[in-house]
Amino acid sequence: MKAARADVIGLVRECMPQSEMGRSRLIGQAGVVRGDVRDQPLPERTLGECGIDTVVHLAAQTIISIANRNPAGTFESNIQGTWALLEACRRER
């Protein structure tokens, strides 16, 4: 059986050393584009310039205590970020 291979590029706002990507050192095995998924031109440019054909969206604020303290920021990150990425995908197809 042949192993599947993929070139992975992550859009990363900030790399947290305590995150799974930081702890497992997977971040060093992926290409990294620094920025915020809510910045509409950035996901569009990344999709186009990197020739991305599959998107896995994991950008979200998922910590409930932070969401409770900052619901507007959570909305911006989760809803506007998803919208920006979906729009970038739509425009790039």
Q: Is the pLDDT of residue 1 over 60?
A: no
pLDDT digits (tens, 9 = 90+) for 52-89: 989 999 888 888 898 999 999 999 989 999 999 999 99
* CATH architecture entry for 9-92: 3-Layer(aba) Sandwich (3.40)
pTM: 0.78
What sign for the dihedral angle of Cα 65, 71, 77, 82? positive
Contacts 24+ apart (CB under 8 A), 78-84: 80/38, 81/36, 81/37, 81/38, 82/57, 84/37, 84/38, 84/39, 84/40, 84/43
Give me the mean pLDDT over the 14-18 stretch. Answer: 72
Domain regions of the chain by residue span: 9-92
pLDDT category at 2 given cuts 50, 70, 90 is low
What is the structure's pLDDT at 69?
Answer: 94
Question: Quick one: CA dihedral 93, 56, 83, 48, positive or negative?
Answer: negative
